[in-house]
Structure 1
Amino acid sequence: MKNLTLKNIAAACGGVFHGDAALLGQCAESITTDSRQAEPGCLFVPIAGARADGHHYIGQVMEKGALCTLSEKELPDADFPYIHVESSLQSVKDIAEFYLRQLDIPVVGISGSVGKTSTKEMISSVLSQKYHVLKTQGNFNNELGLPLTVFRIREEDQIAVLEMGISDFGEMSRLAKIARPDTCVLTNIGWCHLENLKTRDGIMKAKTEMFEFMQPDGHVVLNGDDDKLAQIQDVRGHAPVFFGVEKQDGVYADEIENCGLKGISCRIHVDEKLSFPVKVPTPGIHMVYNALAAACVGRIYGLTAEEIKTGIESMETLSGRFHIIESDDYTIIDDCYNANPVSMMASLEVLQQGLGRKVAVLGDMGELGDDEAALHEQVGTFAGQCDIQLLICAGPLCEHLAKAAREQNKELKVLHFADRKMLQDALPGLIKKGDTLLIKASHFMQFDKIVKQFSSSDG
């Protein structure tokens, strides 16, 4: 890892090195916070978590051949090198910030209330047509995950696409200080993390903290159809690039045609002279927005229309993120990784495009603050307006959703269970061959177990 000598690591995090001074010139070959992933030559960063304290595994890690470890505790009997630090979590952020500055690599930072991950995947797919791309994996988008993503960057990588997720004020500033993005992408300002951010204006304030650490010659890419983001006209002397499905002074799409669960087609207009048809491989109008964001970023980094088109059409979906699973008996829309009111309603819209009986299997949405009951009712009312035949939901908050759906549509069959386990036990008797199932809830509901139950039972 470029310039990550033990001397530089100690300096970056303000730590005190203990051990043989001859080792200070050696570079860490990798950095991990997971003792199980420790390998020879690595730097181990022990984190004190809710379930376990990484300091308990320092000895095991060093026996595996780790180069060095950080430690919040003094280790007077240690016969191995360590760097004494005040906070391991802060240190890992400081080291990541230092490491990224050593690399001559542009960074695309992505955030927003809904669609961060699918937009990240779409942008990465487009940029990979020309560059070697390092992208965020899984949910490594917070104050620990982002540094660990940065540590995966190697000198052969030509561009980094980093997802940045937050739930409170100040978090984005800390993330952006590490990433210092060359390009900032915001997908939308919706209704999530209201527990701390309270209102959409609060969400916008927190998300736009990203701009504080944007590179001086950076770019800003915003959803121009979002009423909050459309108000931004200048970011540190730069005019944003807007995208949307309504014609505007930016990148937009028209000729939108629904292809059911097989995707959605449209024509993307990059400017007055350049446009091209494209088939977005994942259903839903929200995926057109993701494709437009990717087209904006692709043009910023010099891709041709053909490269952008190929990148959009070749994007692969992730498990739990609008992943379509076909079996002999069912079609499953696996969108169970997370949920908020906007994404829940978008998924219900897509479900209506399925074949056979359309069944929504929904669970509680978290972090919605004081309005959580009303927001579940809002989704329930919307569900009652949709062309679906069965609504099955679980969790105490979804009781509000179920009640609102029944009131909206007396003919819709609505079932509610107290928890996911009760729902899961009953579900096999409720589903029929040929059904299309939408499975969606916030991550803590563990609806991925339902997906596994049905996707594995039919091969």
Structure 2
Amino acid sequence: MKKITVLEMQNATKGVLICGKQDTMIEGIAIDSREVAAQDAFFAIVGEEQDGHIYAKKAAENGCRAIVVHNKQIADEIKEIRSDIAILLVQDTTRALQDLAEWYLSLFPIKKIGVTGSTGKTTTKEMLYAVISQKYKTLRNLGNFNNHIGLPLTIFHLNDDIEVGIFEMGMSEFGEIHRLADIVRPNYAVITNVGTSHIEYLKTRENILKAKMEITDYFQKEDQLFVNEDNDMLSKEVLLQCIQEKKKEDDSYCESFQIITAGESKEADFQLSNRKDLGENGIEFTITNENTTEDFFLPLLGNHNGLNAMLAVAVGMSLGISLKEAAEGLANIESTNRRLNIEERNGIKLIDDTYNASPDSMKAAIDVLMSISGTRKIAILADILEMGDVAEEYHYQVGEYASHKEVDVVISVGKNAKFIAEGAKAASKNTAVIYHEEKETLINKLEEFLKSGDVVLVKGSNGMRMTEIVKKVRSL
């Protein structure tokens, strides 16, 4: 992080300095008192489960230079412990963190890329990083730092060497991406797809599209939106209708930015063709733009990753990176933790895709399972959360899909996962179907059920904690 002063923090957050000096230098931002360093400013963030104010005094004891709080009593208590520390009192610490990140980002004349979508955000972000790093010093979110706290923390890793920033933006309801876009003000935006993730809160896919399109809320006419036009909600016709509606709601909204399409149709600006699934060795495909064509190899599981790759390549070319350079970058990409990672233990091939789940990503993971060589193909599938009133329908469809793809054994786990079992049973008599409402019951039976030669997919929403299943399979 570039050094900043407490005065600059005070101005950016509109805080009140109640203790300490304005010329105190800050070299890092922390929200965890256990990780705070002597040169850091600690923000007492109030989360869903923890209130950072509880740990503010501990952060002070650990030697940080400044503390940002919105609780006056806590501020006074810290002042009693350390009179040398800078204490900023703000209206809301989370908003203050965001405001500081927005100001800090404005110090750097970098190209900014925003990435969102129902599925594939993180993978596409990593592909963008692999492509763009071929030519530019690049920063991107680490891990799942894609929300109202994680994204600002990512920004504080910027320094004067960085030329391009890639910012993944997650959401579950209206307004969330709008706020992240306000902080970042992206020049380029990617929407990977519009599916059914978070449909419990947004009710319709049309609303999901509208929420995703908030990524363009601060666009200027020279900015560019990149989309997978094979997705039914991301055709130019649908997008233009959404843009017109946004313009009606907000006359200041810029509707004249460029839309760049990628897909398997000949009308797409970037055409994807010749996708070939190589199983556990990765995938191959071809991308054509105007009169230039390049063959690609991607060492990641899943033929669907060609769709994510074409978007990364398209953005890269807008930044002056050739198809050949993009291919070289993608050939060296590494898989992301808990996203279709494959490993072998005692003759059992384990596909760990436990980071999260949606109906579309469940089906893509099943495709991956079926592409891996092995004796039995076993899908252990848990609840897809945040599906609301359509949970039964979409879980049932996943079960049907698994049977149609001829998965040998479908094991479903969780309350709504019973509908996966029902769908699988109804679709085929060739697929063995097992249902457990509780993980513990399944865990106790895995050792006697799994055997050498099996290929096992484990997938479910993050809240289902399917990592416990993965841990058990690894121990066999």
Contact 2:18-2:88 within 8 A present in 1 as well: yes
Find out whether 1:429 has 2:448 as its counterpart: yes
Q: 1:296 corresponds to which residue?
A: 314
CA distance in 1, matches of 2:163, 2:439: 43
CA positional deviation for 1:26: 3.1
CA positional deviation for 1:347: 1.0
Aligned match of 2:107 in 102, 105, 108?
102
CA deviations 1:157-203 (Å, max 9, x no partner) are 22111110000011110111111111100000001101111010010
Q: 1:53 corresponds to which residue?
A: 51
The residue type paired with residue 12 of structure 2 is A
Within 5 Å, give how 1:304-453 maps onto structure 2.
Answer: 304-356=322-374, 357-453=376-472
Find out whether 1:86 has 2:105 as its counterpart: no
CA positional deviation for 1:449: 2.1
The residue type paired with residue 214 of structure 2 is E
CA distance in 1, matches of 2:160, 2:438: 48
With normalisation by structure 1, the TM-score equals 0.96
CA distance in 2, matches of 1:90, 1:420: 38
Aligned match of 1:168 in 170, 173, 176?
173
Q: 2:76 corresponds to which residue?
A: 76
SS of the aligned residue for 1:278 comes to strand
The residue type paired with residue 8 of structure 1 is E
Q: 2:141 corresponds to which residue?
A: 136
CA distance in 2, matches of 1:423, 1:248: 48
CA positional deviation for 1:239: 2.5
- Cα RMSD of the aligned pairs, angstroms, is 1.5
Q: 1:9 corresponds to which residue?
A: 9
Q: 2:239 corresponds to which residue?
A: 232
With normalisation by structure 2, the TM-score equals 0.92
CA positional deviation for 1:430: 1.5
CA positional deviation for 1:3: 6.5
CA distance in 1, matches of 2:399, 2:9: 52
CA positional deviation for 1:27: 3.0
Q: Closer, same or farther in 2 for the Cα pair 1:136/1:215, shift >3 Å?
A: farther
CA distance in 2, matches of 1:216, 1:69: 40
Q: Quick check: 23-32 or 366-375, which moved more?
A: 23-32
Q: 1:183 corresponds to which residue?
A: 188
CA distance in 1, matches of 2:438, 2:159: 44
Q: 1:264 corresponds to which residue?
A: 283
Q: Closer, same or farther in 2 for the Cα pair 1:191/1:52, shift >3 Å?
A: closer
**What 5-or-longer segments of structure 2 have no aligned partner?**
244-253
CA distance in 2, matches of 1:327, 1:76: 56
Aligned match of 2:209 in 204, 214, 228?
204
The residue type paired with residue 369 of structure 1 is G
CA distance in 1, matches of 2:100, 2:219: 19
Contact 1:193-1:367 within 8 A present in 2 as well: yes
Contact 2:188-2:226 within 8 A present in 1 as well: yes
Count, aligned residues: 454
Contact 1:393-1:423 within 8 A present in 2 as well: no
Contact 1:394-1:420 within 8 A present in 2 as well: yes
Contact 1:355-1:435 within 8 A present in 2 as well: no
CA positional deviation for 1:304: 2.0
CA distance in 2, matches of 1:97, 1:45: 16
SS of the aligned residue for 2:309 comes to helix
CA positional deviation for 1:281: 1.4
Aligned match of 2:297 in 279, 287, 310?
279
SS of the aligned residue for 2:443 comes to helix
CA distance in 2, matches of 1:331, 1:447: 16
**What 5-or-longer segments of structure 1 have no aligned partner?**
none
The residue type paired with residue 432 of structure 1 is K
Contact 1:333-1:436 within 8 A present in 2 as well: yes
SS of the aligned residue for 1:240 comes to strand
